[in-house]
Chain A
Amino acid sequence: MRLRTTGAAAAAVLALSLTATACGGGGDSGGEGGDGEKIAIGIKFDQPGLGLKAKDGGFEGFDVDVATYVAGELGYEPDQIDWVEAPSAERENMISRGDVDFIAATYSITDARKEKVDFAGPYMIAHQDLLIRADESEISEATDLNEKQLCSVSGSTSAQNVKDELAPKANLQTYGTYSECLSGLTNGVVDALTTDDAILAGYAAQPQHEGKFKLAGLSLSDEHYGIGLKKGDTELRADINAALEKMVEEGAWTESVEKHFGPAGYDPGEAPEITEKS
Chain B
Amino acid sequence: MTSLLYDAPGPLARLRNVLYTVAFLALAAGVLWWVLAMMADKGQLEADKWLPFVEDSRVWTTYFLPGLVNTLKAAALAMVIALPLGAVLGVARLSDHAWVRGVAGTVVEFFRAIPVLLLMFFANTGYAMWTDIDREVRPLYAVVTGLVLYNASVLAEVVRAGILSLPHGQTDAAKAIGMRKSQVLAFVLLPQAVTAMLPAIVSQLVVIVKDTALGGVLLGFSELLRSAGLISANYGNTIPAYLVCAVLFVALNFLLTTVANRLESRLRRGKRSGGAVVGTERLEELDEAGPDRPVTKAGGGRVRGT
Binding site for B on A (CB under 8 A): 2-3, 6-7, 10, 13-14, 16-17, 20-21, 24, 27-28, 30-32, 40, 45-48, 52-57, 82, 84-87, 89-90, 93, 97, 99-100, 176-177, 179-180, 182-183, 186-188, 206, 208-209
Contacts and interface: CB of A to CB of B under 8 A. Distances in A.
Given A24-B141, A32-B134, A55-B62, A47 B233 contact: yes
Interface of B: 42-43, 48, 56, 58-59, 61-63, 76-77, 80-81, 83-84, 125, 128-129, 132-138, 140-141, 144, 186-188, 190-191, 194-195, 217-220, 222, 229-230, 232-239, 267, 270-271
Contacts of B239: 183
A34 to B, nearest CB: 12
Given A7-B191, A55-B56, 12 more contacts: A3-B187, A6-B194, A21-B77, A45-B230, A48-B234, A57-B61, A84-B135, A87-B217, A99-B135, A182-B238, A208-B235, A208-B237
A84 B221 CA distance: 10
Given A6-B194, A24-B141, A48-B234, A87 B134 contact: no
A53 B66 CA distance: 13
Nearest to A96: B128
Nearest to A25: B133
A203 to B, nearest CB: 8
Contacts of A48: 233-234
Contacts of A45: 220, 222, 230
A174 B152 CA distance: 34
Contacts of B125: 93
A85 B222 contact: yes
B267 A16 contact: no
Contacts of A21: 77, 81
B191 A6 contact: yes
Contacts of B136: 31, 82
Contacts of A177: 229, 232-233
Contact of A52 (B144, B233, B270, B271): B233
A20 B80 contact: yes
Tell me if B's interface is mostly helix, strand, loop or mixed.
helix
A41 B151 CA distance: 34
A6 B135 contact: no
A182 B133 CA distance: 38
Nearest to A45: B230
B59 to A, nearest CB: 8
Nearest to A33: B135
A24 B77 contact: yes
Contacts of A179: 229, 232-233, 236, 238
B165 to A, nearest CB: 17
Nearest to A175: B238
A2 B271 contact: yes
Nearest to B62: A57
B64 to A, nearest CB: 12
18 contacts: A2-B270, A10-B191, A17-B83, A21-B77, A24-B137, A40-B135, A47-B233, A48-B234, A55-B234, A90-B218, A90-B219, A97-B128, A97-B129, A176-B217, A177-B233, A179-B232, A183-B239, A186-B43
B80 A16 contact: yes
A7 B187 contact: yes
A20 B190 CA distance: 23
B233 A56 contact: no
Contacts of A85: 220, 222
A21 B74 CA distance: 11
Contacts of B137: 24, 27-28
Contacts of A40: 135
A57 B140 CA distance: 20
